[in-house]
Amino acid sequence: MAITVLETATDAAVNTVNGKVVINGTSPAHANGHASAAFTEARLAKPPSAHLLQYDLVPLLEREKKQFDQYLQIDLAHLVMLVEQGIVTRDVGRALLPALVDIRKGGATGMNIDPSKGSLLLQIEAALAAILGEEVAGRLHTGRSRIDQGATARRLFKRDVLLKVLGAIATLEETLIKVAKSNPDTLIPTYTHLQHAQPGHFAHYLLGYADRLHDDFQRCSDAFARANKSPLGCVGLSGTSWPIDRQRTRELLGFDDIVINSRLAREAYYAAEIAHSLSFVMATLNDLATDLHIWSSIEFGFIQLDDGYCSTSSIFPQKKNPVALEVIKYAAGPAVNWGGSALAAFRGEGSGDQAVRKVPELDTAFDKTLAMLDLAGGIVSTLTVNSERVQKTLHDSWCTTSNLADELVRKNGLSFRQAHHVVARLVRICEVHGISRAAVTPMVLSQAAVETLGQPVDGWTAEQLSASLDPVAFVQTRTSEGSVGPDERAKLVAAAEQRVKSDRTWLKQKADQIALAKSKLDGAIASIVEA
């Protein structure tokens, strides 16, 4: 960004000549008849110390530089409103708007940032003063403060990145649904306490994570609703006497609403809520990665990760390490504290200035969550299920015994608790005597009943007993809503597809709303500059 000091003339009027801003009167750097004071010089006897620069202003500017575009977006919207409200003249607007547009195009790297000048708002103001003089540049700050300017920039920035996270959640939902549909016949055992529970289905398992991600999407979109409110115009804490139009700047910046109470301009609990919401996303990813990590072990051998998501060992030639899953689990550890750290930073302030109510760890939270959602999608879309290994495990498993208990209730009129006792003893007898599930007989079942109920159970054939313990038959007979049965799985797929479609529609509406706001802002700028 080239900054040019323009020629001087005779009075303090602002004009444009051949599309360039010209200030008549003193030079821009001396628009008041003397050199402009630095921001702190009017009140403080000393400039910022080296320590203050190193530990406060420089880190602050590094954070704010990430929000550079948002700061300029706010400047432009605020200035348009000031001109439309007659708070500053159109001549001033025609001088400032092109300069702001030029600074925005140049980006943060195009500015000569001097930490001693203070925050990004003051850096931009100084750059404008170098072009136009403080007499003109200083008018941009009419009817606002650093409090509402900075708070608005932070909300815009978090809103934009949160939309990216929401899009990444929807993408992973779609991946899970796609892989689920491509595995229509893949049974797996399910677990409680890492022990076999019942036969399950790989598609049903993946759809469960799609549902959890939809919950995460809703949590994040709820947080978005509270983040997407404009604090611009709250000014200090008590509002302003200038006839500003807060709804106009809200419209030009694409916010859904305004922060209505001026005391809450800097309120940042929405940011803590975002941090908590991202922690939930990471918890979902951690659970998925942990399951897959266990299932990929030699002892389980249910799945294999694509080689592109694995590494090997420098000493153990046989090793294929699923390191991509470890990356997700490692990233999920610190995520537990994201929300708590934000709330801890707010303690002790009450409803005061809230000067430290910033959540810088959100930058890390956003980056990690986006990266891990992307990584999880790559892992899931390329993994393979070792069907033979899973079938052998299910063949030797007693995970169908809850179905046998149900059949005892139906066939023999037992209570479920009585049936539970009989089947539990059946398993114990078979383990003690080395009887496999496939070899169990009605005689063994009857013995279990005698030992627990004091009487046998009659009317069972070997075929009926075998069918009641068959994993494939188990899955086929599950008919309750949301169950693992084929009809219910099909409904779960359809419901998941509809939910992610709704998520995509919501995202498009928000993207369109923000795009429309930018178009309105561009149009408003043009109408002032070109008038």
Q: Region 354-372: what's the mean pLDDT? A: 83
Q: Domain check: are 321 and 432 in the same one?
A: no
DSSP at 508: H
| Most confident by average pLDDT, 16-30, 37-51, 105-119, 412-426 | 412-426
- State the total domains in the chain: 3
Res 350: pLDDT: 66
**Residue 525 counted as domain residue:** no
* Last residue in a domain, options 97, 113, 141: 141
Please check whether residues 154 and 280 belong to one and the same domain: yes
One domain, residues 194 and 333: yes
In this structure, the answer to whether residues 418 and 513 fall within a common structural domain is: no
Q: Are residues 201 and 330 in the same domain?
A: yes
Q: Is the same domain home to 295 and 184?
A: yes
- Average the pLDDT over 212-231 and give the result: 98
- Alpha carbon distance, N-terminus to C-terminus of the chain: 25
Q: Is residue 505 part of a domain?
A: yes
Q: Classify residue 311: in a domain, yes or no.
A: yes
Residues 147-190 have pLDDT tens digits of: 999 999 999 999 999 999 999 999 999 999 999 999 999 999 99
Environment class of 49 (CB within 10 Å of its CB; exposed 0-12, middle 13-18, buried 19+): exposed
Query: Residue 117 has what pLDDT?
Result: 84
Helix (H, G, I), strand (E, B) or coil at 416: helix
Question: Mind telling me the catalytic residues?
Answer: 193, 313
529 lies in some domain = no
One domain for residues 295 and 172: yes
pLDDT, tens digit, 9 for 90 and up, residues 330-361? 999 999 999 998 888 887 666 655 555 677 78
Within 8 A by CB and 6+ apart from 493, the residues are 177, 180, 181, 203, 207
Q: Do 246 and 343 belong to one domain? A: yes
Asked whether residue 82 is assigned to any structural domain, the reply reads no
Phi, psi of 276, deg, nearest 5? -60, -40
Which of 72-86, 90-104, 310-324 is least confident? Answer: 310-324
- The verdict on residue 23 lying in a domain is yes
Same domain, 261 and 321: yes
pLDDT level of residue 55 (50, 70, 90 thresholds): confident
Residues 230 and 81: their CA atoms lie apart, in Å, by 14
Band (2; pLDDT cuts 50, 70, 90): very low
- Same domain as 113, residue 24: yes
Is residue 483 in a domain?
Answer: no
Percentage of residues in the chain with pLDDT exceeding 90?
A: 77
Enclosing domain of residue 432 = 401-469
Sign of the Cα pseudo-torsion (83, 89, 94, 95, in order): negative
If pLDDT is split at 50, 70 and 90, which confidence band does 14 have? very low
Counting residues of the chain whose pLDDT is more than 70, the rounded percentage is 90
Q: Which amino acid appears at position 289 of this protein?
A: A
**Domain check: are 283 and 337 in the same one?**
yes
The answer as to whether 381 is a domain residue is yes
> Which tokens sit at 297?
């072990």
Q: Domain of 183: which CATH number?
A: 1.20.200.10
Mean pLDDT along residues 299-319? 92
397 φ, ψ (degrees, to nearest 5)? -95, 150
How many other CB atoms are there within 10 angstroms of residue 181's CB atom? 16
H helices, E strands: number in the chain? 20, 8
Gap between the Cα atoms of 84 and 89, Å rounded: 9
Query: Which phi and psi angles does 218 have, rounded to 5°?
Result: -65, -40
Q: Are residues 191 and 235 in the same domain?
A: yes
